[in-house]
Structures are given as C-alpha cells and as structure tokens.
A and B are shown apart, each in its own frame.
Chain A
Amino acid sequence: MLSIDSIKKGVVIDHIKVGGAMQIYQHLNLDKLDCSVAIIKNAKSGKLGKKDIIKIEDRIDMDLDALGYIDPDITVNIIEDGAITSKLKLSLPDKLINIITCKNPRCITSIEREIVHVFKLWDSREKIYRCAYCEQEYK
C-alpha cells in the first residue's frame, strides 16, 4: 500500500477521474509551487472504483470554474490543522471566462485585440459550451 503523508494545511483535490490529475496539475501551474505536491493516480475509490487525487501542502488560489469545467465531479477539500475545514463540490460553471478560446475563424474573437473569451453553458448533460459571440459549439 502506497503511503502519502496527510497534510496539515493545504488543499486536497479529490475524486478526479482516473487520468485527469496531470491536466489539472498543468492547468493550476502546480509545477511552479515550492511546497510539496503529491499526485496519486489510480487510488481506490468506493464511489468511482479508481480515482486520482492531488495533495498540495499550501493554500493556493484556484479558478474553481476552470476546475469545474475540466471535471465537475471533483471535490476540493480545504485542510487546516490537519482537518478538513471545508469541502467544495464543483459543478459545470454557467459561464467560462478566458478558460477556452473560440476556434471559429469567422468569430470576432479571431481578430479583436485582448478580447475576453466567454463561453456559455448550453447543455449541461452533454457538457456543451457555446461561444458568447458567435454561438459556435466548443469542440
């Protein structure tokens, strides 16, 4: 059994779909942190069978909308003094701001400088987002 120390203060990102940990690691730029970061792949899970977990031994600011978009089933646990002080259940955000960019070459976002890329949730079951400007589906 692999043993990873529990953390005293920080963040545990739990219930990540198997194979999703590295995408989150990269998205949150965790490689830039000086603190300990543990990535646990294929951990046993009663709910999922297997899951990935990320443990970060520091409090960091996270874009929860981006995390929710990557994997809405994730749980974010905030740890203080070795105990969970809050448990955040994520969901698909209604709006994505500067998380993904429109690929439609006919969209104004393809030419307008410093434009804010906005996508709106169109179908939560199918996880479909559409560009707020041209309405093209993000694929």
Chain B
Amino acid sequence: MRHVIEPTDLSINELDELIALAEDIRLNPVKYADCCKGKILAALFYEASTRTRLSFESAMLSLGGSVIGFASADASSAVKGESVADTVRTVSNYADICAIRHPKEGSALVASQYSGIPVINAGDGGHEHPTQTLTDLLTIHTIKRTLSGLTIGFCGDLKFGRTVHSLVKALSLYPNNRFLLVSPNELRAPDYIRATLANRGCEYQEGELLDTHIRHMDVLYMTRVQRERFFNEEDYLRLKDSYILNMAKLVNAKSDLSILHPLPRVNEISMEVDGDPRAQYFNQVRFGKLIRMALILKLLEIVEWRGGRC
C-alpha cells in the first residue's frame, strides 16, 4: 500500500507514469469511466477548499467510484477532540482511499501512519500540497513537452506558499532546471527550500522585482501576496504592485511563456491577462482533475506501476 504525502514520495519514473496516464485519460476518458466502480474515496477536508475537494470528488466520480467525507472540521468529530489518527483509522473501514486536508503541518503523515487505506495529502497547512504539484507538473509537461532544462520563475509569497515549496522540490529532481525566485525580502523562500536547491546542485537566483527576471522565464508561477503577511503597511504599499502581473509586464516576456497560478487569484494577475495565450491557469484546473484520476488509479492498484522506484 502506498501513500502520497509529499511529491518526493514519487520517483521521477512514477511521476512520468502518472503524467502519461493522465494524458491517456484526457485522450480516452471513456476507457476509464468504470475503472473505480464499487470503490469509495473519503474526502477528509478539515478546512475550506473549492478546487482541491471538488477536483478529487469529480475525479473519483469520473472513474465510476463514489465519494464520502466532510468539508470542514465542524462537520467531523474533530470538534469533539478526535485525533487525526483515530479519524483515519475509522475511515479506513468505510472507504478504499482517502484524501486529507488539514490546517496542521504533518497531519497527512500522521494519517498515513495509522491508515489501512492509501492516503493522499490534499494540503497540510503551509507545508505540502503534492497533488497541486502533480497538477503543475502535468500542466508544464503538456504545454512544454518536457520537465527539464526549463527556467521557472516563482513570484509572490514564496515563504508561506506551500504550492511553491512542493513544486520547487519536484522540479529540482529533473536535470538542468533553473529557478528564479521573485518575492519581497520578507516573503523569501524558506531556508530548507534554498538548501534543497543547493544540495541538488540546482542553479537559482533570488530577486525582488518581476520586471528584472520575467524575460528569462519559460514558466511563470504566480502566487498571491497577502497584505497580512507584511510586517508593516509601508513595505506592503512599496512592493504590492511589483507582484501584479499585467500586460505591461508581459511585454518583455517570451512569446511561449506559460503562466501558472494555483488559484484562487485575488488581484495578482490582472483579468486582462486571461485572454493572452500564455495564461494557462484555468487549463491547470482541468489538468488537476486528470492527474488526480491517474493518482487514484495507481494508488488503488487498478493501473499498476510499471517502472521501479529511483
């Protein structure tokens, strides 16, 4: 039995297999429509989510399976003080696979230690969000046809943005990728992320201004800069417009740049960008469902892993 708690739980071979399977599902959805008939996904969502929860549910339903679960901690026995360990032990008796989102970091790892069924981390606080990473990898791979030799820019809140942390770690496994980390100084990527890049010999550069770096990027991964993350209003006002992507900033960008965003967006990408062919963030949502379908099929061993682990 396998769990996916962080992106590095999957080898490069396995990531490639998932991406290939997701692409086959995209091209031949009917072939997979009944693959999970009789199987149940438990969606244990201790905090609000639009895309991730609905994406998991839609993925399972599109595979012919069923879904049970809760959409907030208030709707579970967590309000009575039940531990994650006890909840997941209980749910193991009702479902075949579970996806868990919980505000505490490391909660999915705890769930996996007590679960009798495969656990997928659907976001554990500010820590990891592997299925968003898989979504991002599938999006990049589908558009660029490669996950290597790319210059990937990350812009916005790189300190608290778990999607950034997970994606940086995953892309650092592929050769010759270069990372441009653009954020206000207060929201720089945490030391362990920079240490991971350094340990894996990846080239990376940090900066405060998107204008300076955008021309080099093959992929631009935008995230939200939130006012409450700043220590003072003055810094927020000074920096906030540096992190809003608009058509003026895209003037210097490559014509085949891919703009990604984990969503929800607030104002960090102007709506005028939505019509630009480089905007891929709504396609990304579709890829999110496809890769979750692929992951469910693999973890339920309905489609077997072909290659060995790295």
Contact = CB atoms under 8 A, between A and B. Distances in A.
Interface string B104-117: 11110110000000
Nearest to B107: A108
A112 B85 contact: yes
Given A130-B192, A134-B127, A137-B191, A110 B109 contact: no
Contacts of B84: 108, 112
B192 A132 contact: no
A106 B126 contact: yes
B185 interface: no
A112 B127 contact: no
Interface size class of A (residues with CB under 8 A): 20 to 34
A133 interface: yes
Interface string A28-63: 000000000000000000000000000000000000
A114 B128 CA distance: 23
Given A106-B125, A108-B124, A112-B110, A134 B85 contact: no
Given A107-B106, A135-B192, 4 more contacts: A108-B110, A110-B104, A123-B195, A130-B192
A131 B125 CA distance: 15
Contacts of A132: 106, 109
9 contacts: A108-B104, A110-B104, A112-B104, A130-B192, A133-B107, A133-B110, A134-B106, A135-B105, A137-B191
Interface string B48-89: 000000000000000000000000000000000001110000
B102 interface: yes
A108 B125 CA distance: 9
Nearest to A135: B192
Contacts of B125: 106, 134
B124 A137 contact: no
Interface in A97-129: 104, 106-113, 115, 122-123
A113 B105 CA distance: 15
Given A108-B84, A108-B124, A112-B85, A134 B105 contact: yes
Given A106-B126, A108-B124, A133 B83 contact: no
A139 to B, nearest CB: 11
B79 to A, nearest CB: 13
B105 A133 contact: yes
Contacts of A107: 104-106
A137 B192 contact: yes
B105 A112 contact: no
B106 A133 contact: yes
Contacts of B195: 122-123
A115 B84 CA distance: 11
A2 B104 CA distance: 55
Contacts of B106: 107-109, 131-134
A57 to B, nearest CB: 41
A133 B192 contact: no
Contacts of B107: 108, 112, 133
The 3 A-B residue pairs whose C-beta atoms are closest, nearest first, are A133-B106, A134-B105, A108-B104
